[in-house]
Amino acid sequence: MTAPLFSVGQSVRIVDRTPRVHHRVPAYAKGQVGVIERVCRLHGEPEKFIRGDGKPTQRLYRVRIAQNGLWDNYAGSDGDDLDIEIFEHWLEPME
């Protein structure tokens, strides 16, 4: 079992890139900074599924992003946040 690279509470950045294949990172999340809220299980990478390789080899995480940092003129509380599932290969540690 592969050990997770990231741990709960760690600050991470979601990589800002656009591979020319099916991937499950919304545009609004790319390049954003958040905190690991949960370490999830191993799953198959969406980018590989369409090549028939659905082996569950990639760690999934939930990343919590503050809404007031994500959107211009966000209308809500400073405590509002957005949680999103991101695979390990889409995350970089923040120093």
The contact set with other proteins (CB under 8 A) reads 16, 18, 21-31, 40-41, 43-44, 46, 49-50, 52, 54, 56, 60, 62, 67, 71, 74-77, 79-87
Tokens of 11: 């600050």
Tokens of 55: 């082996």
In the chain, the amino acid numbered 67 is Q
**Judged by CB, which is closer to other proteins: 4, or 44?**
44
Distance CA 48, CA 93 (A): 24
Cβ 11 to other proteins shortest distance, Å: 18
DSSP conformation letters of 30-86: TT-EEEEEEEEEEE--HHHHTTT-----EEEEEEEEEHHHHSTT--S-TT-EEEEEE
Cβ 15 to other proteins shortest distance, Å: 10
**Judged by CB, which is closer to other proteins: 8, or 50?**
50
Cβ 7 to other proteins shortest distance, Å: 17
Cβ 45 to other proteins shortest distance, Å: 9
